[in-house]
Every structure is written in C-alpha cells, then in structure tokens.
Amino acid sequence: MSKTIKIISWNVNGIRSVLNKGFREYIKQENPDIICVQEIKALQAQAEINLPEYTEYWNSAQKKGYSGTAIFTKDQPLAVIMGLEINDSEKKLVDKYGDANLEGRVLTAEYANFFVVSVYTPNSKPDLSRLEFRKESWDPIFLEYIKTLEKKKPVIFCGDLNVAHEEIDLARPETNHHNHGFTAEERMGFTNINNAGFIDTFRMFNKAGGNYTWWTPFRGARERNIGWRIDYVCVSTSLKPKIVEAFIRPQIKGSDHCPIGIVFKT
C-alpha cells in the first residue's frame, strides 16, 4: 500500500535566527516527513531545534557562522553521507576561497527507495570571482555525484542552487543577464542537470511567472514581489509519475528565502 511523503526545503539564512521567527510553528503546521535546510550557519550544539519527532543530521561548515546544510527526518535513513563524494582524485572542489567540501554544502540521506540530498550551491559572487569554479568544478562534480547515486536508486535533491534558470524565474531578467545567479554559465549548469534526467518539480505544475523563492532585503523587494526563483526540488525522471504536488510558500517569513517542497507517492 502506497503512502505520501512530504519534503520541504528552506534556506533559513541562519538556523539560530529563524528559530526565533516561527520556524518550529511553521514546521508543525506544514508537518513534513523530511526537512532539508541550507545556510544553517551554526553547529548542532549551537541550536536547539526542539522538534522531538525528527532525527537531526547536520553538515556544518568548518568556518564558523557560515554555510552548512542539515536534514531533519521522521523516518530513520539507512545511511547518511556528509559532503560530496568525489571518485576521481584529479577533480577538486578547491578555489581561492577554500575547499567547498569543507563548507557543509551537501548532505545526503539514503532511504529504502530513494536518496534525498540537501544542497547549498556556492554563490558566484557579485564580482563573478567564483563563476569559473561553478562552471568548471562545482556544477559538473555535483551532477556526477547525483548521477552516481542514481545508479543505486532514484534521487531527490533540493536546496538553494543560486541560479534562476529561465527568464521567467526572476522579476527583471533584462537587467540581470551578466549578474551572478543569471549568467549563461550558471544557467547552462542547471540545463545540464535537466538534460541528465533531473526534473524541476515546480515547473511540472506551474508554468507562470511571479513565483519566487528569494528576495533582496532592500527596497521592499519582497512586498513588491521583485524576486528570484533560485531554490528547487528536482527528482530523477523515474519519480515523475509519483509527484503529487510541488509548492512554494512565499507567505512564510523568517528568512530572505521561503520554503519550497513536494508531495510524492512511494
């Protein structure tokens, strides 16, 4: 007998901060089975989540107060993988900013019939100083990682990918073509993910503009809905028939990002 599972993903921009802005109340209202969070900016010992029905897994950055991912889950996973497993010793995730695998950017939970990956993709930075790293290292290595997982069972990955894929995914595409988050290189990185068989679940159900997941905190951008859709839940093609719903929760405050999620049948 099949059941439905709800997964939410949220870049909380600091787990300690969002805990004081309704995080627990939202989780109790949404009642997901699995919670993927990004940009936790803390060690587990520094934040009391106090959601006893969930088991917590954290991949915090070595640098204090920076980056990091976590997964909170009602069902115990079979295994948990910290970081990106890289099979090719020639491939590196190191640039002038350091080793991205020490930034806590990927956390994977394995369940009986699927993997769940919480991911926080490096920002290319306003001066595009990390764009080459994104193009040549991070994006292809992450894609190789999820394709390797997929050889064993289907993959669900979700999080802040720091790219608006199409013009419909941001409010002002015409003025952002050369800005970080909307360069041709970053967009191609997401296209490569799609071409490799991973589906943007939100676009299965909603083809309209005006659906964003991040807003700058300046100039009343959120109130005016001048935003970007840079957070995604993507799934292996084999899971497409099982996806019941994909959603964005722009009304949920507490971070400069809002929660997103899916419901699927097992």
| Ranges in the chain, pLDDT < 70 | 1, 89
Reduced 3-state DSSP string for the chain: CCCEEEEEEEECCCHHHHHCCCHHHHHHHHCCCEEEEECCCCCHHHCCCCCCCCEEEEECCCCCCCCCEEEEECCCCCEEEECCCCCCCCCCCEECCEEHHHCCCEEEEECCCCEEEEEECCCCCCCCCCHHHHHHHHHHHHHHHHHHHHCCCCEEEEEECCCCCCHHHECCHHHCCCCCCCCHHHHHHHHHHHHCCEEECHHHHCCCCCCCCECCCCCCHHHHCCCECCEEEEEEHHHHHHEEEEEECCCCCCCCECCEEEEEEC
The pLDDT of residue 72: 98
The pLDDT of residue 188: 98
Boundaries of domain holding 76: 4-265
The pLDDT of residue 86: 85
The pLDDT of residue 89: 67
pTM of the full structure: 0.97
The pLDDT of residue 59: 98
In the chain, how many domains are there?
Answer: 1
- Distance from C-alpha of 263 to C-alpha of 66, rounded to nearest angstrom: 30
The pLDDT of residue 252: 98
- Distance from C-alpha of 186 to C-alpha of 200, rounded to nearest angstrom: 16
182: domain CATH number is 3.60.10.10
The pLDDT of residue 1: 67
Q: Would you name the residues annotated as active-site residues?
A: 120, 160
The pLDDT of residue 91: 76
